[in-house]
A and B are shown apart, each in its own frame.
Chain A
Amino acid sequence: ETGVTQTPRHLVMGMTNKKSLKCEQHLGHNAMYWYKQSAKKPLELMFVYNFKEQTENNSVPSRFSPECPNSSHLFLHLHTLQPEDSALYLCASSQDPQSSYNEQFFGPGTRLTVL
């Protein structure tokens, strides 16, 4: 595996379900990110982890719970979501989030539908 991988690629869940999204990066990067992309909206940053420590939480509702056990793996635990949470969830990684010159590399995303 190379780059950034995400599983599952598609997920349909009910509002009372609990599910998790998984991301793995094979680039040796130190930082990982979760983004949400809704229709006709820009990518919205949700969480940033730097060396496994959360450094950003952009006012994300608590029904989204991130977990970063190490610098290569990132999870997004989902619980009691709403239909408006249906979106493409993208994971990214980068070498150094303390530097402005910090290209991020994205996974293919998980298309989430909440019924």
Chain B
Amino acid sequence: DQQVKQNSPSLSVQEGRISILNCDYTNSMFDYFLWYKKYPAEGPTFLISISSIKDKNEDGRFTVFLNKSAKHLSLHIVPSQPGDSAVYFCAASGPGAGSYQLTFGKGTKLSVIP
């Protein structure tokens, strides 16, 4: 049973427009959420995060929104650039047996078209 879901496997956006990537979760114990970006042949790179006590966090062109009641978060990229083309993973932090663990979604492949 997937606890973190990214229902869109892919997304195409025109350069300069807004990219919106969505993520849903089911476990109410998750209290910290992260977005990672992955280029081919590289490991995931941390992009931005948000604590469950906030509903928005912004860092330059990247903004993450959290709706706790809906168990939904989204990543907004504006304006989108061709270099943003990558796979984006949503991750949620929650307690494991002996330490906090990250649970990942399957990822959304973003293509920004010049």
**A binding-site residues for B, Cβ under 8 Å:** 4, 6, 31, 40-43, 45, 48, 50, 55-56, 90, 92, 97-109
Contacts and interface: CB of A to CB of B under 8 A. Distances in A.
B100 A97 contact: yes
Nearest to B29: A100
Contacts of A40: 106
Contacts of B104: 42-43
Interface of B: 2, 4, 31-32, 34, 36, 41-46, 49, 51, 89, 93-107
Nearest to B90: A42
Given A100-B31, A103-B34, A48 B45 contact: no
B43 A106 contact: yes
A104 B102 contact: yes
A98 B46 contact: no
Nearest to A108: B43
A106 to B, nearest CB: 3
A105 B46 contact: yes
Contacts of A99: 100
A109 B36 CA distance: 15
Contacts of A98: 99-100
A41 B107 CA distance: 9
Given A100-B32, A106-B43, A108-B43, A48 B96 contact: yes
Contact of A42 (B31, B42, B105): B105
Contacts of B4: 42
B99 A97 contact: yes
Contacts of B98: 48, 50, 55-56
B23 to A, nearest CB: 11
A103 B36 CA distance: 10
A67 to B, nearest CB: 18
B47 to A, nearest CB: 10
B90 to A, nearest CB: 10
